[in-house]
Amino acid sequence: MQESNMAGWQRKQTSVEKGIVIPDEWPGYPLELFSLPEHYSEDLDCVYIPHGVIMDRIERIARNILEDLGDHDIVVLCVLKAGYQFCADLVDSIKVLCRSSSKTLPMRVDFIRLKSYLNDQSTEVLHIEGAENLSVLSGKNVLIVEAIVDTGKTMKTLLNHVEAFKPKMIKVAGLLVKRVPSGTGYLPDYVGFDISNRFVVGYALDYNEYFRDLNHICVISDRGKLKYKI
């Protein structure tokens, strides 16, 4: 096992890649150190993962994907809405790497939308939009790109839907995996960050459709939850 520390974060390389593990006691960075939209000035507790760190980690994930799947055609299935920024930056990183690599990775991108949250709580009801178009995945190598995996139940439900269309292979890239007591233990094939059970927003992650316009991943404050509650 190889371990390295940076600002209290630990990246563990084992037989299963868990990404950068952010410990429960990680306080995040003070808001005043970053440029943030003024309209969210009192709605956030801290900057949890800065945008530059996110981008660097995505480049590493892109390298891993190219090493594993290079020279195969793949269908990238982006899980909306939260996954759109991660998917766009991941696809861009793979394209850049292909230009300087002996491997190539032809990609087509498709989209599916999932909704299972009300305010800051995951519900038992999962709405899937676009599932009727998944016949294009039949016989294909599929890379599902999801912004966040918490309990793992939503992802397992989606995988069952995708598997019904008989793709050749399925891999999952998750930017964030949240450690929650009710988790199923599901771990994506490619993980950006393993995080504590805090409600994070930004980088297209939302709270009732707000905060998608943040570049950084931040922890929402109690005031923010109350302000945008429905």
Q: What is the pLDDT of residues 150-168, one digit of tens each?
A: 888 888 888 988 898 899 9
220 lies in some domain = no
175 lies in some domain = yes
What's the pLDDT score for residue 116? 61
177 lies in some domain = yes
Q: What are phi and psi of 228, to 5 degrees?
A: -110, 15
What's the pLDDT score for residue 157? 85
Rounded CA-CA distance 35/177 in Å is 26
Tell me the residue range of the domain where 67 lies.
51-198
69 lies in some domain = yes
Left if phi > 0, otherwise alpha if psi is -120 to 50, otherwise beta: which for 203? left
CATH number, residue 122: 3.40.50.2020
Across 17-21, 37-41, 59-63, 149-153, which has the greatest mean pLDDT? Answer: 59-63
What's the pLDDT score for residue 124? 57
What's the pLDDT score for residue 152? 85
Rounded CA-CA distance 113/32 in Å is 34
110 is catalytic: no
- Mean pLDDT value of segment 155-183: 90
Q: Which is catalytic among the residues 45, 89, 150, 206?
A: 150
187 lies in some domain = yes
19 lies in some domain = no
26 lies in some domain = no
- Mean pLDDT value of segment 184-197: 90
Number of domains in the chain: 1
- Which range has the worst mean pLDDT, 16-20, 122-126, 157-161, 220-224? 122-126
pLDDT at position 10 over 70: no
189 lies in some domain = yes
What's the pLDDT score for residue 2? 38
Q: Are strands 217-220 and 44-49 parallel, antiparallel or unpaired?
A: antiparallel
Per-residue pLDDT tens over the stretch 75-114: 999 999 999 999 999 999 999 999 999 999 999 999 988 8
pTM of the predicted protein model: 0.86
